[in-house]
Amino acid sequence: MKAPFYFALAASLALSQVAISTASAETAATHFRSAPAQTFSQADLQRYGLSSEQAARGMELQRQGYHVQVMTQEEAQRVYGGHMSTRTWMIIGVVALVVIAVAVSSN
């Protein structure tokens, strides 16, 4: 009778350990150096491959005080590729809660 509870508890702890080790490994690997901020013209942004609408949006953001940073696709994947989204963490949390709820209700 108690075996399913202990199994569910062990499974949820194992899942949390995997998630924690994955998150900490990805966080350590995402440090990078970027170029200092500079102001781009609309022609500069279009030379980097942005459409005229995207370049106009970039210019508007710069006028509002934002810093526009242009990076290659590979740089963008290095910067943002390893992060787990909030949605992913929520799914992991819900799965852990369901496992615990099932284990408790089976007793």
pTM of the model: 0.37
Per-residue pLDDT band at 24 (split at 50, 70, 90): low
**CB contact at 8 A, 62 and 39:** yes
Task: Looking at mean pLDDT, say which of 1-10, 16-25, 85-94 comes out highest.
Answer: 85-94
- pLDDT for the residue numbered 87: 79
26-31: long-range contacts at Cβ-Cβ below 8 A with a sequence spacing of 24 or more? 26/82, 26/83, 26/84, 27/82, 29/82, 30/78, 30/79, 30/82, 30/83
* pLDDT at residue 25 greater than cutoff 70: no
Domain ranges, ordered by start, for the chain: 1-32+83-107, 35-70
Q: Tens of pLDDT along 62-94?
A: 889 888 777 777 777 777 666 667 778 888 889
**CB contact at 8 A, 82 and 30:** yes
Q: Tens of pLDDT along 36-67?
A: 666 778 888 888 888 888 888 888 988 898 88
